[in-house]
Structure formats: structure tokens, C-alpha cells
């Protein structure tokens, strides 16, 4: 089963929902992994504009939001989702991972949108916690998100020891994603578990992309293993 995924830190849709939606719609992704999704109403409107369904963090009256989300395009559907809050994590900028079990025609995979912390020690702890959760996944795993560090960082390496860095398997030209205007760092990534074939990965860099967010998106063409 061929699957197109897109990873995007949308910077709270500060540049406008329509502008971000225009960038995403161009690639017609089956799954979208989002970071910094802003308010819930903005996320729902964004999903509607794309004809997709969003799995996001549950409402809480006492905790600040972890603003990661996974969006699916029918006939893909979300069979269940949950948020894992990383520890340690700053109260003002909580970090975590949004796990969504997605399915279509007998195919299933675990889609994980994540955004690691700003400090190295924090990121390393987050990466180790995420790897421990991935090890317990029952289905093929796709991780997409903003790691806040390039491939030579320790947290990046912790994930790369357990999962495949899709860019190394199918990267097309430059892979830097931040800052969007003149990208110099590859910090937005797609990781896949054993058995998922990477066909191609690209980072668009046209003017529309450079003005829609402070990050560039990552688009990956993947092939899932046959069920069973």
C-alpha cells in the first residue's frame, strides 16, 4: 500500500490557515503530522479545508496543550489515538507525542506526531521515552515531527538507532527545513520502522512554502508492508 505523508511545523498558523492549507493540498497527503497547531478551532478549520480528519490532544482544564496532531484523508481513518506527555517537560512549553492508529483496507500503522524539547538534556530524555513507546507498538510505525536538532544531535541519534531516517533512504536534493526563508538545518523528519519502504522524500522550497510558516514541510512517499 502506497502512502504519502507530510510533516509540518505550522507555527500556530500565524501566516494564515489558507496559506498553510494551500501548501499542504498541493501534495495530496494521506497522513499529515503537525506541530505547533495553535488553537483547536484553527486546527479543525484547517482539517476541514483539506477534507481531512484530525486526531489531537484531549481537552484539559488544568494543563497547557501539547499541540501535535495527526490528520488522515479518507478512506484512511483513525481507529484510536492518545497523547503521551514527555517527562521532564517545561510547564510553559509542554512536549509530547500524539499516537494515532490509522487503518485502511486491512492495512494499519501507528502514526506518531512529536515535537522534542529545546534543551539537549530534555530532548535526549524525550527521545529515549519515545523509543520505549515505539518498541511496544503492534503495527508498523511512522514518526514525524520537529526534533529541534540536526542529525548529529544525540536525541536524533537515539531515534536513528531504533528507526530508519527516511531522508537517508530516499532524500531528494537538500533536506534542510529551518528556517523556512533560508533553511540551514534538517530538524523536521520522518522516521519509519522496519518493513516500511521509503520511495522518495522531498522538502519543497518555493516562495509559497517560505512564507507559510517558519519551517518547511517534509513530504515522503512510503510503501507499507502487506498485512500479516
Q: Which of 4-8, 87-91, 118-122, 140-144 has the lowest mean pLDDT?
A: 87-91
The per-residue pLDDT for range 86-114, each reduced to its tens digit, is: 987 776 788 999 999 999 999 999 999 99
Of 12, 46, 136, 151, the closest CA to residue 84 belongs to 136
pTM of the full predicted structure? 0.96
Task: Check pLDDT > 70 for residue 62.
Answer: no
pLDDT band for position 63 (cuts 50, 70, 90): confident
pLDDT confidence of residue 77: 97
pLDDT confidence of residue 132: 96
Task: Check pLDDT > 90 for residue 228.
Answer: no
Alpha-carbon span 96 to 66, nearest angstrom: 6
Distance of CA 150 to the CA centre of its chain: 16
Based on DSSP, count helices (H) and strands (E) in the chain, helices before strands: 6, 13
Q: CB-based contacts of 207: which residues, under 8 Å, 6+ apart?
A: none
pLDDT confidence of residue 91: 66
pLDDT confidence of residue 87: 85
3-state secondary structure of 83: strand
DSSP string, 128-174: HHHHHHHTT-SS-EEEEEE-SS-TTSHHHHHHHHHSEEHHHHHEES-
For the segment 72-82, the average pLDDT, to the nearest whole number, is 97
Q: Which of 78-82, 85-89, 110-114, 222-226 has the lowest mean pLDDT?
A: 85-89
pLDDT confidence of residue 172: 77
Task: Check pLDDT > 80 for residue 219.
Answer: yes
Q: How many CB atoms lie under 10 A from the CB of residue 157?
A: 14
- Per cent of the chain over pLDDT 90 is 89
The per-residue pLDDT for range 152-210, each reduced to its tens digit, is: 999 999 999 999 999 999 987 779 999 999 999 999 999 999 999 999 999 999 999 99
Q: What is the mean pLDDT of the chain?
A: 94
The per-residue pLDDT for range 163-176, each reduced to its tens digit, is: 999 999 998 777 99
Going along the chain from its start, the domains and CATH numbers come out as 2-223 (3.60.10.10)
Amino acid at each position: 500500500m502506497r502512502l504519502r505523508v507530510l510533516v509540518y511545523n505550522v507555527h500556530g498558523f500565524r501566516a494564515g490557515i489558507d496559506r498553510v492549507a494551500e501548501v499542504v493540498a498541493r501534495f495530496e497527503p494521506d497522513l499529515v503530522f503537525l506541530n505547533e497547531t495553535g488553537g483547536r478551532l484553527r486546527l479543525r478549520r484547517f482539517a476541514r479545508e483539506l477534507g481531512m480528519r484530525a486526531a489531537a490532544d484531549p481537552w484539559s482544564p488544568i494543563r497547557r496543550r501539547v499541540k501535535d496532531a495527526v490528520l488522515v484523508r479518507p478512506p484512511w481513518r483513525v481507529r484510536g489515538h492518545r497523547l503521551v506527555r514527555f517527562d521532564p517537560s517545561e510547564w510553559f512549553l509542554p512536549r509530547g507525542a500524539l499516537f494515532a492508529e490509522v487503518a485502511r483496507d486491512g492495512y494499519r500503522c501507528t502514526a506518531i506526531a512529536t515535537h522534542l524539547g529545546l534543551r539537549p538534556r530534555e530532548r535526549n530524555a524525550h527521545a529515549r521515552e519515545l523509543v520505549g513507546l515505539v518498541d511496544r507498538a503492534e503495527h508498523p510505525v511512522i514518526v514525524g515531527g520537529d526534533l529541534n536538532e540536526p542529525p548529529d544531535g544525540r536525541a536524533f541519534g537515539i531515534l536513528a538507532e531504533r528507526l530508519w531516517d527516511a531522508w537517508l533512504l530516499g532524500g531528494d536534493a537538500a533536506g534542510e527545513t529551518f528556517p523556512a526563508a533560508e533553511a540551514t538545518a534538517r530538524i523536521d523528519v520522518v522516521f519509519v520502522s522496519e518493513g516500511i519502504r521509503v520511495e522518495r522524500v522531498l522538502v519543497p522550497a518555493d516562495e509559497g512554502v517560505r512564507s507559510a510558516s517558519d519551517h518547511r514541510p517534509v513530504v515522503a512517499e512510503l510503501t507499507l508492508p502487506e498485512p500479516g
